[in-house]
Amino acid sequence: MQHAGEIYEPLKNRVLGMIFEKSSTRTRVSFEAGMAQLGGSAIFLSPRDTQLGRGEPVEDSARVLSRMLDVIMVRTFDHAMLERFAEYSAVPVINALTDDYHPCQLLADVQTYVEHRGSIQGKTVAWIGDGNNMCHSYIKAAIQFDFKLRIATPKGFEPNPNIVAEAGERIRLFETPAEAVQGANLVATDVWASMGQEDEQEERIKQFSAFQVSSALLDQAADDVVFMHCLPAHRGEEVSHDVMDDPRSVVWDEAENRLHAQKALLEFLLCQEEED
Ligand code: CP
Ligand code: NVA
């Protein structure tokens, strides 16, 4: 619609606050461009420049910012900080990634699956690699969208057992990628060391070496398999050099869909009251 030159501005004069305590390319640009395209604007707030970064309490920051802004997104380390911020905010707060979850990425991933293959309900998804924030959000998505999830991680890097338990029978844990991709319609992976785990990078490369997703691994999945990665990708580590450009890879559509999915989320959060 945007590229066809159509103007659609349901968020005219609305302002999104964007708190980033970790780096970002896709999340920042998709939220900022999305707000501009919908007629609103966005303010990038780095802890280097705000009083939040100098120790102003989260509760006070949330109360003040939400008196000025219409919606706020937060990318931070501790998930409890995000929850505290949301508790004290008078406007909607969006999780733009914590150590525990990355739900905006799952909106884009599910949209991408549906665009390429139709409904994801009842399908089989394989998660290969770290039992990290993305893995946890895949577990939540398996419950929400009703798909089966087969997870392969090295020993000691399994997802949080409490989150796994929430999904019940839908989840199965495996010790090898080859087992996990059996029958998979979607294979997804992520970096071996997430933001905040830079010190563990070298050790993790050793522990995860058998967990690389390659075109040969995709050959063992279902015939209609698609491959996703939230990006940024480390070629030669969690992905082989060939798999990103494999015909079964949909990673560039997946990245673009961050923009479309989040525009829909912003419109949903900000325009619903008007419709009610
Ligand atoms: N996938 C993702 O969230 O990317 P960024 O860290 O670049 O925002
Ligand atoms: N698991 C990664 C996702 C980056 C989008 C991280 O938290 O760094």
CA of 26 to the centre of ligand 1 (A): 5
Counting the structural domains of the chain, the total is 2
Please check whether residues 181 and 248 belong to one and the same domain: yes
Where on the phi/psi map is residue 197: left (φ > 0), alpha (ψ -120 to 50), or beta? alpha
| pLDDT exceeds cutoff 90 at 276 | no
- pLDDT at residue 3 in the model: 81
Please check whether residues 93 and 220 belong to one and the same domain: no
Query: Of 75, 99, 123, which closes a domain?
Result: 99
- Mean pLDDT value across residues 49-65: 96
Q: Is residue 244 part of a domain?
A: yes
CATH number of the domain enclosing 70: 3.40.50.1370
> Using one digit for the tens of pLDDT, what is the confidence trace for 205-246?
999 999 999 999 999 999 999 999 999 999 999 999 999 999
CA-nearest residue, atom 3 of ligand 1: 27
CA of 275 to the centre of ligand 1 (A): 32
- pLDDT at residue 207 in the model: 98
> Using one digit for the tens of pLDDT, what is the confidence trace for 106-136?
999 999 999 999 999 999 999 999 999 999 9
- Mean pLDDT value across residues 33-62: 96
Share of the chain above pLDDT 70, in %: 98
Residue 74 half-sphere exposure toward CB, CA atoms < 13 A: 25
Query: Of 49, 78, 99, which closes a domain?
Result: 99
Please check whether residues 133 and 248 belong to one and the same domain: yes
Please check whether residues 132 and 80 belong to one and the same domain: no
Share of the chain above pLDDT 90, in %: 95
Q: Is residue 268 part of a domain?
A: no
Distance CA 136, CA 172 (A): 13
Please check whether residues 197 and 232 belong to one and the same domain: yes
Phi, psi of 198 (to 5 degrees): -55, -35
Q: Is residue 260 part of a domain?
A: no
Residues near ligand 1 (Cβ within 6 A): 24-27, 97, 105, 230-231
Give the confidence band of 275 by pLDDT, cuts at 50, 70, 90. Answer: low
Q: Containing domain of residue 151, as a range?
A: 103-254
Give the confidence band of 274 by pLDDT, cuts at 50, 70, 90. Answer: low
Please check whether residues 161 and 90 belong to one and the same domain: no
Please check whether residues 94 and 22 belong to one and the same domain: yes
CA of 25 to the centre of ligand 1 (A): 5
Whether 258 is catalytic is yes
Please check whether residues 195 and 245 belong to one and the same domain: yes
Q: Which ligand is nearest to the CA of 95?
A: 1
CA of residue 205 relative to chain centroid, distance: 22
- Catalytic position from the list 104, 190, 212, 246: 190
75 CA closest ligand 1 atom index: 8
Where on the phi/psi map is residue 187: left (φ > 0), alpha (ψ -120 to 50), or beta? beta
Residue 151, beta-bridge partner list: 127, 173
Please check whether residues 63 and 91 belong to one and the same domain: yes
Q: Is residue 263 part of a domain?
A: no
Query: Of 66, 99, 132, which closes a domain?
Result: 99
Residue to probe by mutation, ligand 1, list 21, 25, 74, 77, most atoms within 8 Å of CB: 25
Please check whether residues 65 and 162 belong to one and the same domain: no
Q: Is residue 264 part of a domain?
A: no
Q: Is residue 206 part of a domain?
A: yes
- pLDDT at residue 2 in the model: 77
Cβ(76) – ligand 2 distance below 6 Å? no
- Mean pLDDT value across residues 248-260: 98
Residue to probe by mutation, ligand 2, list 24, 132, 200, 258, most atoms within 8 Å of CB: 132
- pLDDT at residue 272 in the model: 82
| pLDDT exceeds cutoff 70 at 98 | yes
| pLDDT exceeds cutoff 80 at 1 | no
- pLDDT at residue 4 in the model: 84
- pLDDT at residue 5 in the model: 86
Distance CA 197, CA 190 (A): 13
Q: Is residue 187 part of a domain?
A: yes
- Catalytic position from the list 14, 26, 75, 136: 75
CA-nearest residue, atom 4 of ligand 1: 26
Please check whether residues 34 and 164 belong to one and the same domain: no
Please check whether residues 150 and 215 belong to one and the same domain: yes
Q: Is residue 2 part of a domain?
A: no
Average pLDDT, the chain: 97
